[in-house]
């Protein structure tokens, strides 16, 4: 189910949606040149607009605006939470310089900030991330390795089962409940924070203090380059649309499912997926 939903999502987002429009145009070409031309023109225009940095930046506005960055970490922040939760953000597979899988760039950014936050507050750290596609090592174990070996930060909890942001929330909550933890700093990227915060609030049992990474990083340069198509612009648009689509999907599933979050995760394999 997870592979299916990710595959569908791929073709609903750029550049997948542009490929779908182009393919439909080819199917229509023998029957209606006009309809095929309209689709080809629409696909070309969509690719151009979504590849503009100004478009990607506009689409990302509002995702992280409700979660401003924390002040420069200091000891005063300790009183606001009891632990630090870090969400995985992907891995680099079979990196030869590391002798195997290691954390990806997004995950590394989150770990670096979590290490800084830990040093300022002394709060214990939980890392969460599983092996959604059958990898031999859970992402949380890779995260633990980087924190302990590269940043010299101890990791108290390692959550290895989560395949999605929603599962991050449910499984992390269960581990923290057992330890009597009620307030946490949630570390993820600003653009991912709306979905992550929603998932943790829906899972219940924890008070969330957003600790976003990358707030305000993707801003317009104020030059003509903002209006020229680029791979960066397309990546920003795709990421923003993916987060918005995923949040809509989460809320839709939550509205039509009457079971509790934990019950859904305990259902037979393939019965539910977030």
In a domain, 113, yes or no: yes
Answer yes or no: do 7 and 115 share one domain: no
Answer yes or no: do 186 and 248 share one domain: no
Domain that holds residue 40: 2-62+227-265
Both tokens assigned to 263: 């019950």
Q: Tokens 């182009």 map to which residue?
A: 22
The pTM is what?
Answer: 0.87
Answer yes or no: do 114 and 143 share one domain: yes
Strand partners, 147: none
User: In a 10 Å sphere around its CB, with 0-12 CB exposed, 13-18 middle and 19+ buried, how is residue 43 labelled?
Assistant: buried
143: left (phi over 0), alpha (psi -120 to 50) or beta: alpha
- What is the helix (H) or strand (E) element at residue 209, kind and residue range? strand 207-213
Answer yes or no: do 207 and 129 share one domain: yes
CA–CA distance, 85 with 88 (Å, rounded to integer):
10
Condensed to tens digits (0 to 9), the pLDDT of residues 230-251 reads: 999 999 999 999 999 999 989 8
Q: Give the 3-state secondary structure of residue 180.
A: coil
In a domain, 270, yes or no: no
CA–CA distance, 84 with 187 (Å, rounded to integer):
7
Q: What is the dihedral of CA 258, 262, 263, 269, to 10 degrees?
A: 120
In a domain, 83, yes or no: yes
In a domain, 220, yes or no: no
In a domain, 273, yes or no: no
Question: Measuring CA to CA, which residue among 198, 132, 199, 196 is closest to residue 161?
Answer: 132
Q: What does the pLDDT read at residue 210?
A: 96
Answer yes or no: do 200 and 239 share one domain: no
Q: Tokens 């020229």 map to which residue?
A: 228
In a domain, 207, yes or no: yes
Question: Measuring CA to CA, which residue among 8, 191, 17, 6 is closest to residue 89?
Answer: 191
Beta strands in 42-167 (DSSP E): 83-87, 91-95, 100-103, 125-128, 157-159
Answer yes or no: do 178 and 244 share one domain: no
Q: What does the pLDDT read at residue 10?
A: 86
Inter-residue contact 67 to 210 (CB < 8 Å): yes
Q: What is the CATH number of the domain that holds 180?
A: 3.40.50.620
Condensed to tens digits (0 to 9), the pLDDT of residues 24-49 reads: 998 988 889 899 999 999 999 999 99
Inter-residue contact 131 to 101 (CB < 8 Å): no
Domain count, the chain: 2
- What is the helix (H) or strand (E) element at residue 245, kind and residue range? helix 231-256
Q: What does the pLDDT read at residue 264?
A: 52
Q: What does the pLDDT read at residue 155?
A: 98
Answer yes or no: do 90 and 204 share one domain: yes
All residue ranges of the chain with pLDDT < 50 are 259, 263, 266-274
Answer yes or no: do 85 and 200 share one domain: yes
The DSSP result for 114-126, as a single string, is HHHHHHHH---EE
């Amino acid at each position: 189910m997870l592979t299916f939903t990710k595959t569908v999502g791929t073709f609903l987002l750029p550049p997948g949606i542009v490929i779908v429009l182009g393919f439909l145009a080819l199917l229509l070409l023998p029957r209606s040149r006009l309809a095929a031309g309209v689709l080809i023109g629409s696909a070309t225009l969509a690719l151009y607009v979504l590849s503009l940095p100004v478009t990607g930046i506009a689409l990302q506005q509002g995702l992280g605006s409700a979660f401003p960055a924390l002040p420069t970490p200091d000891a005063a922040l300790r009183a606001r939470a009891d632990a630090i939760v870090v969400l995985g953000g992907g891995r680099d597979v079979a990196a030869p310089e590391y002798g195997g899988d290691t954390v990806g760039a997004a995950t590394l950014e989150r770990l670096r900030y979590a290490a800084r936050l830990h040093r300022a507050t002394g709060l214990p750290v939980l890392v969460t991330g599983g092996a959604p596609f059958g990898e031999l090592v859970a992402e949380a174990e890779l995260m633990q390795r980087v924190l302990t070996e590269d940043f010299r930060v101890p990791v108290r909890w390692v959550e290895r089962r989560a395949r999605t942001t929603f599962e991050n929330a449910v499984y992390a909550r269960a581990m923290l409940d057992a330890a009597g933890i009620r307030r946490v700093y949630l570390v993820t990227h600003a653009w991912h924070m709306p979905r992550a915060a929603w998932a943790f609030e829906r899972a219940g049992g924890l008070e969330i203090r957003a600790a976003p990474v990358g707030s305000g990083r993707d801003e317009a340069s104020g030059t003509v380059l903002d209006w020229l198509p680029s791979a960066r612009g397309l990546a920003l648009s795709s990421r923003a649309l993916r987060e918005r689509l995923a949040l809509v999907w989460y809320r839709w599933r939550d509205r039509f499912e009457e079971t509790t979050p934990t019950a859904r995760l305990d259902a037979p394999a393939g019965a539910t997926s977030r």
